[in-house]
Amino acid sequence: MKIIMLGAPGAGKGTQAKMISEKYGLPHVSTGDIFRANIKNGTALGMEAKQYMDKGLLVPDELTVKILLDRVAQDDCKNGYVLDGFPRTIPQAEVLEDALSKLGDKVDYAINVDVPDENIVRRMSGRRACVTCGETYHIEHVPPKTEGICDKCGSALILRDDDKPETVLNRLKIYHEQTQPLIDFYNNEGILKEVDGTIDVKDVFENITKILG
Ligand code: AP5
Ligand code: MG
């Protein structure tokens, strides 16, 4: 099963992708997480990606596409995956479609987690992420057991550099310009599924499992 998570920054793509990954035994592939791991390790890719990410801009397609295709060519992706944060532009979607069709394959579901802009900025300022394992929390909706500490690995929780309100507004603008057109793209392919992302995390997931079976 190959699944794409669509949605605005902060819609809950990562939260739901992780739950799908655990329930269905599929690898969770997030281009944002790959870039952040590279930034943390100080790689050349990380340094380049950071220049765009800190401004709320998209990392150029050439760079992103290569990383994604390398990742899904790995052995653990043989039986499928959940893509979180890719594709984010029509050219990225076309590259993925081409690469899959060469293997006689295709994406099965594109799930759009729908959250209006008004909810996004508030949600992002409450998000906290683990510096070590990347686990995501929310100070109100998904709090850690101990404030500021990751439940999973005990490391410190931080506000992501790109979660400052002014950067979030820019990410939302870029989302509407470049990523939202993918909703029509996958609707035309007949694989678009919409879920309401404003309800409780568990209820969003229940609706997703009704789609995936
Ligand atoms: P990326 O890491 O993908 O960021 P994003 O798309 O902006 O999305 P987020 O991770 O911010 O949000 P999310 O939808 O995963 O929400 P989450 O589950 O955390 O990309 C970062 C940057 O990398 C981009 O800006 C770009 O520069 C670059 N990049 C990445 N991929 C790229 C690509 N393909 N092409 C080019 N550039 C690329 O949830 C958010 C918060 O809300 C959390 O605190 C969570 O606990 C909480 N929450 C979740 N669900 C609910 C709910 N139902 N109710 C209440 N709270 C909830
Ligand atoms: Mg995410």
Per-residue pLDDT tens digits for 156-172: 999 988 898 889 999 99
- Which mutation among 89, 142, 203, 207 tests ligand 1's pocket best, with the greatest number of atoms within 8 A of CB? 142
Identify the pLDDT of residue 134: 87
**Which segments in the chain show pLDDT lower than 70?**
none
Q: Residue 36 gets which letter from DSSP?
A: H
**What are 178's two structure tokens?**
């470049």
Identify the pLDDT of residue 122: 84
18 within ligand 1 shell (Cβ under 6 A): no
86 within ligand 1 shell (Cβ under 6 A): yes
For residue 194, report the phi and psi dihedrals to the nearest 5 degrees.
-110, 135
- Which mutation among 89, 141, 160, 182 tests ligand 1's pocket best, with the greatest number of atoms within 8 A of CB? 141
Residue type for position 170: N
Distance CA 120, CA 124 (A): 6
Inter-residue contact 57 to 170 (CB < 8 Å): yes
pTM of the model: 0.95
Residue 194 is inside which H or E element, if any? strand 192-196
Ligand nearest to the CA of 121: 1
Residue nearest to atom 15 of ligand 1 (CA): 14
